[in-house]
Homo-oligomer: A and B are copies of this chain.
Amino acid sequence: MLSKSQISLLKSLQHKKFRKEHGLFLVEGYKSVVEFVNTAYQVDTIYHTPAIAPKMLNLSRKINFQEISLTDLEKISSLKTPQEVIGLVKMPVWPALNYNTLKNRFSLVLDGVQDPGNMGTIIRTADWFGITNIICSEDTVDVYNPKVVQATMGSLARVNVHYTDLATTLPKINLPVYGAMLDGENMYATNFGSEGLLVMGNEGNGLRPKIQALISKKVTIPRVGHAESLNVAIATAILCSEIKRNSLK
């Protein structure tokens, strides 16, 4: 059983302020928790219902396990339909971004993406395409937001997400900077080469002018129909697919 103060602490982690204060975040669902167990992330405690206890035996013994009631689990879950396992994970302290690790590959840059579902889906898509670094503006939604963690479906355990001031960071990375913009070059005719950054903007406003100024090539997904725009996670995925296309044919 969880004490009142434990429940209060765990519930507080739905808010960025308290995640930062405690250096902890929650991962919900057995499959997602398992993804974190064998990575550099430190899983502090796994809370689970009695029903799922047998499945816990396969996991590392270095973790604390705590059996709790479904009622307690529902109290700490941020999901409408809580799952039977919640992991309490330590927020890693990222070393400063080493620009050399970005060479000979593509990385994503997010300029103010706000929607947690979009952010999580972008991380999942990046993981699918083998993109391991995402560089975000300071005002991009927090990656440890429970809705982001959920939407990554475990991929967060494998993708490094850095927050930084893009305007000062991008010029220091000596790589081609592709920006998704409505007035860009047809992406199907673009030669993306083998390394670079792909910059995606905010859902409503796109790229900020000072970030637009740092783009070396604007690219566009040509439109046939009438939708005014594409969802940012969708546009990111289509561009990632096009960038990786030549190496995957």
Contacts and interface: CB of A to CB of B under 8 A. Distances in A.
Interface string A208-244: 0000000000000111111111110110011001101
A77 interface: no
Contact of A225 (B121, B126, B225): B126
Interface string A58-69: 000000000000
Interface stretch (A3-11, A153-161, A171-179): A153-161
Copies in the complex: 2
A128 interface: yes
Contacts of A234: 121, 124-125, 233-234, 237
A128 B241 contact: no
Nearest to A237: B234
A128 B230 contact: yes
A242 B131 CA distance: 20
Contacts of A247: 224
- Which among A229, A230, A245 has the highest number of chain B CB atoms within 10 Å? A230
A130 interface: yes
B128 A225 contact: yes
B188 A228 contact: no
A188 B117 contact: no
Given A237-B234, A238-B241, A242-B241, A227 B124 contact: yes
Given A158-B226, A224-B248, 10 more contacts: A117-B117, A127-B227, A128-B223, A128-B227, A128-B230, A151-B231, A155-B227, A188-B249, A237-B238, A241-B241
Interface of A: 117, 121, 124-132, 151, 153-155, 158, 186, 188-189, 221-231, 233-234, 237-238, 241-242, 244-245, 247-249
